[in-house]
Chains A and B, each alone.
Chain A
């Protein structure tokens, strides 16, 4: 292990190297900090808060959906609830989730750097995030929107709900995402410690790199699209309005040119987390390091060429549909490379079934289902039947909620000791993981069944034959919520009551574990020198493939 570190760090303690949490005090020292770790923690707190808001909205309409008749809400209220659930979960939770919180906290630490390349820009992107969030919260208070999170024209340009503030919110949030992306790319290129070559980068860093590329290349397109839509609504410029010669399908092209790649912004960082946790908690060198790293970039690249699979029934040409379908199948290849590599990593490893590993296994199980059902939907003929049914809803929840959020929760647990300096209690954490897994599958697997039998999405009143599935789904959502609330409570409790975390509780080899838990304000007591690969565990050094 890294014995050199201890001596030198001890020798350096003459200076005042307090933890980053206590280095400065007061609310302002947080809100205007340039420290990437504090910014990451503020993102984490904000994202989890909005996750709670989005989740409560979902619980509200799950109660409504428990029976076939409308009992609680009118159709319009129901539409507002699922729209805000979608918009909050996508723009305020999933897109920033792992990159902005864990990524911000970990990237400089993993690179052995003192900070990201542009700390002020990093703070600015957090402030922009809060401003965009304020717009979405205002939308909520101003009566909400009922367009669905996709804001399809011409409905979005004619309805009288609070579309403009929601669009402005998403527009502003886009810049937060772009600035984070630029910052991360430059940081990874320019801030690596001596000895940290590209092929020694932790796979989380590779995943963040691919994510950032998409953020920089795709987000500006949604920005201009939403900008045009704001003018469409306020000034009637007609670009998306067929009455003025405009084209609503153009909006769909613009929208999905961003919004398909952005699902990889959501899922790639989760892949990165899983690549770390599966190796470290199996005590085995990752299988296929280069393949996993390259497949992240490949997914980012191919992801730009598949947006048309959201538009198979929009009236785009059959040739275009066929080509988009084929390229979409192509995404499965690098994705499968990752999944097989993770499974192969566990093979003959000494797997520790701790909480992090439970979430990692949940991820693999759920993501496999989510990924494979994606192939159903990529198939033209099947999609014509399945589009706008609960099958689609279940598919993207398996990928986005089951994939991204399982990865996110796994990552939060894995790095919790580093971020807070405290261990979380294992027993409630395992119970929470079990509840989340059971609740999640009960909620959404039932939706695959209902959807494949024809239950359309976005209706609050439905045919009685779907009632059993819908009721089970509602029960599942409450089990899921119970698991997540339990997780929230023990994590909050552990910040005061948890056992003090050692420097490297999982005996990992990546650089973030070389510093104290929690890290000191400037990350490391001196210059970090990297001499090993990220997964060269001592006990298996000789046996690596």
Chain B
């Protein structure tokens, strides 16, 4: 027994060179291999995203355990209504993102673009609300670390709550902004140039996976920061 290299045109009766669809990169055998590789890669990327946030969550829990009274008192300064509104906005955007993927499956590229625009709109809405929240904190001085000037929280190290708040929501907000950029690129690039069809829409699916993760992280941030008990 020995290994061998067989002439491609003999082996690959199933996919002679002429049959290669345009989206298939040269180093993949066939479309299913490419699709599953692209999606698997995205899932691994999401895993590393979760671990990236895990450091922030650990810092949150460590300091919450150290300063429970501060955490309880400081969270009252966050605006629950704005947080809840943003939660609804992001959940809605996840729905429209899922509908965008479904539109691709139905070969409705125009529909996909329309749903992506709505998702981008929600993302902007989220950031605008975040802007009002942040500017209020700049106004009253509930700022991270050495910039903290607010008086009126009982308990040790109130500035740490706002360090953690700003780092967590800031890094999350950065992900929202990156998401907006990726969606714009999808609309201007692959979707406009006809690279996406019901045959191959792994790119849109991957953007969707990313967006759902951004949403999911907020689902954890909202109760941890705004609804401390």
Contacts and interface: CB of A to CB of B under 8 A. Distances in A.
B145 A220 contact: no
B21 interface: no
Which one of B36, B55, B159, B171 has the highest number of Cβ atoms from chain A below 10 Å of its Cβ?
B55
B203 to A, nearest CB: 13
B202 to A, nearest CB: 12
Closest 10 CB pairs of A and B: A245-B157, A224-B55, A236-B146, A238-B145, A220-B52, A4-B4, A114-B27, A115-B27, A237-B145, A220-B51
A531 B27 CA distance: 21
B12 A224 contact: no
B48 A113 contact: no
B5 A529 contact: yes
Interface stretch (A5-13, A279-287, A315-323, A371-379): A5-13
A182 B37 CA distance: 11
Interface stretch (B56-64, B107-115, B209-217): B56-64
A221 B12 contact: no
B190 interface: no
Contacts of A530: 3
B44 A8 contact: no
**Interface band, chain B:** 35 or more
A253 B54 CA distance: 13
Interface in A1-44: 1-5, 8-9, 11-12
Given A236-B147, A245-B159, A2 B55 contact: no
B3 A236 contact: no
Given A189-B37, A189-B40, A217-B47, 13 more contacts: A5-B3, A5-B5, A8-B7, A190-B37, A225-B55, A237-B145, A238-B160, A244-B163, A245-B67, A254-B55, A514-B4, A526-B5, A536-B1
A239 B11 contact: no
A182 B5 contact: no
Interface of A: 1-5, 8-9, 11-12, 113-119, 121, 178, 181-183, 185-186, 189-191, 216-221, 223-225, 227-228, 231-232, 235-239, 241, 244-247, 250, 253-254, 509, 511, 514-515, 522, 524-532, 536
Interface of B: 1-8, 11-12, 25-27, 33, 36-37, 40-41, 44-45, 47-49, 51-56, 58-59, 62-63, 66-67, 144-147, 156-157, 159-160, 163-164, 166-167, 171
Given A190-B33, A219-B48, A238-B163, A526 B147 contact: no
Contacts of A221: 51-52, 54-55
B11 A526 contact: yes
A8 B48 CA distance: 43
Given A117-B37, A217-B51, A221-B51, A247 B62 contact: yes
Contacts of A119: 25, 27
B169 to A, nearest CB: 13
Main secondary structure of the interface of B (DSSP, over half): helix
B1 A531 contact: yes
Nearest to B144: A237
A60 B198 CA distance: 62
16 contacts: A114-B26, A190-B33, A190-B40, A220-B55, A221-B51, A224-B53, A224-B54, A232-B145, A238-B157, A238-B163, A245-B63, A245-B160, A526-B7, A528-B6, A529-B6, A536-B1
A215 to B, nearest CB: 9
Nearest to A225: B55
Nearest to A250: B62
B54 to A, nearest CB: 7
Contacts of A531: 1-4
Contacts of A8: 4-7
Contact of B8 (A218, A228, A247, A527): A527
A182 B144 CA distance: 34
Which one of B1, B4, B51, B62 has the highest number of Cβ atoms from chain A below 10 Å of its Cβ?
B4
Contact of A216 (B4, B25, B44, B147): B44
Contacts, number: 179
Contact of A527 (B6, B45, B52, B146): B6
Given A224-B55, A228-B59, A529-B4, A236 B145 contact: yes
Which one of B2, B25, B58, B147 has the highest number of Cβ atoms from chain A below 10 Å of its Cβ?
B2
B5 A9 contact: yes
Nearest to A218: B51
Contacts of B40: 185-186, 189-190
Contacts of B147: 235-236
A194 B73 CA distance: 62
A324 to B, nearest CB: 17
Given A190-B40, A239-B59, A223 B52 contact: yes
Contacts of B146: 235-236, 238, 244
A127 to B, nearest CB: 18
A239 B160 contact: yes
Which one of B6, B33, B167 has the highest number of Cβ atoms from chain A below 10 Å of its Cβ?
B6
B73 to A, nearest CB: 14
A368 B41 CA distance: 37
A253 B55 CA distance: 10
Contact of A244 (B1, B5, B26, B159): B159
Which one of A185, A218, A246, A253 has the highest number of Cβ atoms from chain B below 10 Å of its Cβ?
A246
B124 to A, nearest CB: 25
A531 B3 CA distance: 5
Contact of B3 (A183, A247, A511): A511
Nearest to B163: A237
Given A3-B2, A532-B2, A117 B41 contact: yes
A118 B41 contact: yes
Contacts of B167: 228, 231, 237, 239
Contact of B58 (A4, A9, A186, A254): A254
A216 B55 contact: no
A8 B52 CA distance: 49
B188 to A, nearest CB: 19
Contacts of B1: 531-532, 536
B209 to A, nearest CB: 14
B48 A178 contact: yes
